[in-house]
C-alpha cells in the first residue's frame, strides 16, 4: 500500500487533512471485490498498489482549496479534481500494479498526473497493456473505470452510502 495523500509526494505537495495516518478503507462489498481482483493478479505475479481509497470529505475540500489558492482552477474545470468525490463514500479506489516484490511496474504516467497521458489510452506499448490488464481485472469484479484516469475505479454496490469525514488516525485505546 502506498496511501498517497498521507505523504507530501502528491500533487498538492503536502499531506492532506484527514490523512494523519496511512490507510486505505473501503465499504465491505467494494473491499471484497478488490480482494478478488488482487487474488487473480497475484496468480500472475502482480500485486496492487493502493494510492487512495476512502477519502475524508475534508481532504476533498482541501484539494479544491489548493486548486483555487494555487491558481489551478483548470484542474476542477477539466474534471481532474472533484468537489464531491465517491472516495468520500468508500466506494472509489485509486490503484496501480506492482511486481510480487512490491516494486511498482511502469504504467506510463504517474498516479495523479493531470494530463492526457493519464487517460486509459494515453500511452502505448507495455504500459497500455498493463493498464488494460488492471482495468480488465477491476471490471471483472464489479468496479467501473474512469477513462481519464487509468488508476481510478468506482464500485456501485446498489446501497446508498453516506459521505463521511472520518480521519485516518492512530488512536489510543
Reply yes or no on whether 137 is catalytic.
Answer: no
Helices (H), the chain: 28-42, 57-69, 73-77, 126-140
Dist CA 115 CA 78 (whole Å): 10
Q: How many CB atoms lie within 10 A of CB 145?
A: 18
Q: Which of 20, 29, 106, 149 is catalytic?
A: 149
Question: Nearest 5°: CA angle at 153, between 32 and 65?
Answer: 120
Dist CA 117 CA 8 (whole Å): 22
Q: State the distance between the two ends of the chain, measured CA to CA, in whole angstroms.
A: 24
* Per-residue cell: 166: 472520518
Q: Please count the residues of the chain.
A: 173
Judging by beta carbons within 10 Å of its beta carbon (0-12, 13-18, 19+), is residue 119 exposed, middle or buried? middle
Place of cell 488492471: 134
Q: How many CB atoms lie within 10 A of CB 35?
A: 12
Q: Which residues are catalytic?
A: 149
Amino acid at each position: 500500500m502506498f496511501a498517497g495523500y498521507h505523504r507530501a509526494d502528491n500533487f498538492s505537495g503536502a499531506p492532506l487533512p484527514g490523512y494523519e495516518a496511512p490507510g486505505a478503507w473501503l465499504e465491505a462489498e467494494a473491499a471484497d471485490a478488490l480482494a478478488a481482483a488482487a487474488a487473480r493478479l497475484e496468480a500472475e505475479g502482480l500485486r496492487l498498489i493502493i494510492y487512495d481509497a476512502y477519502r475524508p470529505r475534508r481532504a476533498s475540500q482541501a484539494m479544491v482549496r489548493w486548486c483555487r489558492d494555487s491558481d489551478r482552477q483548470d484542474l476542477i474545470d477539466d474534471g481532474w479534481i472533484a468537489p464531491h468525490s465517491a472516495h468520500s463514500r468508500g466506494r472509489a479506489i485509486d490503484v496501480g500494479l506492482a511486481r510480487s516484490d512490491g516494486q511498482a511496474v511502469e504504467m506510463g504516467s504517474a498516479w495523479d498526473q493531470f494530463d492526457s497521458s493519464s487517460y486509459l489510452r494515453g500511452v502505448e506499448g507495455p504500459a497500455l497493456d498493463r493498464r488494460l490488464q488492471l482495468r480488465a481485472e477491476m471490471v471483472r469484479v464489479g468496479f467501473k473505470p474512469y477513462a481519464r484516469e487509468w488508476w481510478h475505479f468506482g464500485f456501485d454496490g446498489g446501497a446508498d452510502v453516506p459521505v463521511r469525514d472520518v480521519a485516518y488516525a492512530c488512536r489510543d485505546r
